[in-house]
Amino acid sequence: MKNLSLTAQIDYQKVYYLLKDNAISESLISMLRKDCKSMKINGKYVDMRSKIYSGQTLQLTFREQAASNIPPSNMPLDILYEDEDFLIINKPAFLPSIPSKRHYQNNIANAVVGYMQKYAQPFVYRVLGRLDKDTSGVLIVAKNPVAASMSSFEKSYLALCHGNFDKTQFDVEKPIRTIQTDGINQQRRVVDEDGKPAKTHVEVLKQNQNVALVKLTLSHGRTHQIRVHLSCINHPLLGDKVYGIQDDSPRTMLHCAEVKLVPPFSANKIGVAAPLPKDFSDRLI
C-alpha cells in the first residue's frame, strides 16, 4: 500500500485532470478507479469526475488487489538499501532475478517475497531493470506501484573483458537489432543499421595479462547491449558464451556496480553501490 497527497494549484473540473497534470500514469489511474475508497478530499471519498479546487488536497491510497503468485523462501538477502518504496539488494551471480520454468523456486523473487511477508500486506514483485542470471550487483525492487511506474534510475556496470585497450575512455554508438526467426525473437542480438539506437560509454579502469576491467554506462538500455557492443569492438566479456570466445570463466563477467535512483515526486537521487565480487578481484591480481 502507498499513500500519496496532491495539492491543487488551480481549480479542476475533474480529479482526473489533476492526476494527469502530476504525471500519474493511466495504469495507476486505472488502479484508483477500481477502488472506490482510494481517493479523498477533506475526508470525503471522491471519484475521477469529482471537482477539486485550488488549495484542496487530494489524498490517494494505492492498494494492491492481489499478491504475486510466487512461492516464498527464507533465502538470505544482501540488502544494500531499504525505505518505504524500495528494497535494493546485492544480487549474487547464478541466481535469476525472476521465476522461470527452470528456476521456479530458486531465484531472487522467492527470497524477496519471503522477506516481504513480515509486512503482512499483499506484495507484488516488481523489478526495475532486471539483471540476467549470470550478472551480479545492484537490483532494485519497487515495493509499490507508484515507485514502480514513477521512478527513474541510472546504472553503471563493471565488466571484465578480453584484450587491452589503447584508449582509456570512448563511446561505442552502434544500433542493435534483435534476430527473428519466423517472427519470433531469438536470444541473440546483432549490430545492424536497421536496429534501434544504442550508445555505451566505456572507461578502462585497469588492465593486465590481456584482461581489462572496464566501467560502462548506457545512454540506451537495449537487451544485451553491453555484451553486443564489447563483442563488436573485439573485446568480448569473459565467460560470454553467446557473443564471446571460449575461456575458463564460469559466468559472464558483468556486475551492476552502482545505481542512482530518483524516487517519485523527488529531485533527490539515492545512490547505492555494490562491492566488487570476489571472482572479479581474483582475476585482477
Q: Indicate the Cα dihedral angle 233, 186, 106, 236, nearest 10°.
A: -10
Three-state DSSP at 133 gives coil
- The size of the chain, in residues, is 285
| Amino acid (1-letter code) at residue 221 | G
- Picking from 112, 119, 85, the residue whose alpha carbon sits closest to that of residue 3 is 85
Write out 14-48 in H/E/C secondary structure: CHHHHHHHCCCCHHHHHHHHCCCCCEEECCEECCC
CB-CB contact of 122 with 81 (8 Å): no
Active site members: 132
